[in-house]
Structure formats: structure tokens, C-alpha cells
Amino acid sequence: MSKPAERKARRKRPALDAAPPARKEDRAAAGVRLQKIIAQAGLGSRRQAEEWIREGRVLVNGRVARLGDRADPGKDAVRLDTKRVRVRTGAKTYVLLNKPRGYVTTVSDPESRDTVLDLLPGPLARGVKPVGRLDVQTEGLLILSDDGELASRVTSPSSGCPKEYLVKVSGVPPERDLERLRRGIRLDGRPTRPARIERVSTTGGGRAEEGNSWMRVVLTEGRTRQVRRMFEVIGHPVSKLRRVAIGPIRDDGLPVGAYRRLAPEEVEALRRSLERGTATATATANVAPQRTRARRREPGTRKPRVRREART
């Protein structure tokens, strides 16, 4: 046997001292990965949890955890910094709220302002957290849940979860400016994703500086005050902003300040939408750019010669 063939055969031969792969039953007995426990507790996404573990902020029974460690949520004491990580058992809670203006999208506020949790009864408010954010002057649909996995997927840019807004801006933006926003502009040093923007109605004389315009805007990302900042760039500031849909979740009849639980079929529809969005984003990222073929010149034609200026 030649040396290359011998080396190839040696690589295929299993090592005698290699440990057999862990069975599913053995992994279950060893517990759950820490990043999954933290995500299920609604404290952050799995990727955020991995960063916290690398930074040494996660403890298991008083010991600093390492990436890859597992724990039993029912027996082991898992802490993030000084806070005990508790995974709620049983059915998850999914609430749809029509947020009014003036409420902060957070669990608590250091300035003692009203938060979106103040709009829910005590038993329902315990344990749920806002999924994403709406700024204090924006109203509209907001999901609150104790399902950390679903929350991280809704807010993750990789899922491309569409959020639809009705926007009132001052004046009448020219079509060329709206096309700029549709293609994407630079905010914070990086381009925004393409957006869907359509006119709903206009008031006034139709001139750019007169009247007001209502726009329908659909984004697949959620940067801080993104809609407001986009229209500020083209010189037509937002005066009213309302979110009317999150993926397939929509309820035009829900009064401002009111809430309701999401139906199981609505939650399932949202999950399917997120799976399709993630699959599409992955497929797009894996597609290699097509090389364009050079155009052939007609017989008898020559490429024009470019006369270069003499260097001085």
C-alpha cells in the first residue's frame, strides 16, 4: 500500500480509546444546557447567555460555569450575576396589548414612569416581559410573554419578523425620497434593510412642505426609533406612529390600552412565520453570488481604445 493510501486508511480507522457518543438518555440525565435554561427563563437569547457564561457571570451551585455546562433547573441553583434563574413550568403565557402613548416598554422604570405591565392585572403581569420595544410616544401592538425562546426569535434580525406600522408624517414626501427609504439608508454607520413603504392618504395641497401624509411601513428589523429616524433623514418628521401587526398577529378591533391572550393557533402561526423567515435568511446567505458572463462583441468590432493622459 502506498503511503498516501495508508494515511487515508489510518484516518478512517476509529480510535480505540475514543469515547462513544453520548446517548440522548445520558444527555437528559446530565441536565439542560445553561444557555437554554437562561433563555427559557426569559432573561435573554441563547447567544446572549453564551456571552454571559464566557464573561463568568453565570454560577451553578456557587461555582463559575463554563460554556457547555449543564444543570437541572429543578435541583441546581443557577444564577446570573446575583439573580436566581427560575424556569417557569407549565403552559406559557402570551398576551397581546394595544399600548397607549406615554407608557414605557419595560418591566420597571428608574424614573417611576408608567410601564406596560401597569396595564395588566397583577397575576397576569407576574413573569411576563415585553417582546421587543415601542418607544414611549409610540402606540400599537405589543406581545408580552414568559417564553424566552419565542421572544428572542421575534426580536432576532435573523428571523426577519415583519412589523407593520401606520405612520403620520408632516408634509408630502416625494417619491424619490420614499424610494431611498425602501432601498435602505445608513443609520449608525450601517445600512438599513429594505423596507416596504406605501402611501395611504395625504392632506393639504399636495406640495412637499404642506399638509400631512399617512404611510404604511413594514420593517424586518427593529433598531432604536428606526421609523422616526428614517423619516427625519428625508425631512418629514413623524407626528404619529402606531404598530398594527407583528408577523401574522393583527387585531384592528383591540381598543387602545386593552389586552387579550393570544389564541394557541395565533402562537402557532407566529412560530411558523419565524421558521419560514429564518429558513429564507439562511438560504439567502448560503447562495453564492452568480458570476456574470462577459458579453461577446460582435464580429468585426473592436474595443474602443482609451487614450491615457501623460503623467506629470
Active site residues: 135
| Residue 189 zone, left/alpha/beta (φ > 0; ψ -120 to 50; rest) | left
| Cell 415583519, located at residue | 162
What is the amino acid identity at position 45?
Answer: S
Q: How far apart are CA 160 and CA 193, in angstroms?
A: 10
- Closest to 169 measured CA to CA, from 204, 128, 212, 211: 212
- Calpha distance 67→150 (Å, rounded): 22
Q: Is 118 exposed, middle or buried (0-12, 13-18, 19+ CB in 10 A)?
A: exposed
Q: Say which residues have a Cβ less than 8 Å from residue 281's Cβ, sequence separation at least 6.
A: 158, 159, 160
> How many whole angstroms separate alpha carbon 179 and alpha carbon 191?
14
The string of DSSP letters for 64-111 reads E--TT-EE-TTTS-EEETTEEP-PPPSS--EEEEEEPTT-BSSS--TT
C-alpha cell at 184: 435602505
Altogether, the residues listed in the chain come to a count of 312
Q: Can you spell out the DSSP letters for 192-239?
A: PPP-EEEEEEE-SSS-TTSSEEEEEEEES---TTHHHHHHHHTT--EE
Q: Which residues contact 296 (CB under 8 A, 6 or more apart)?
A: none
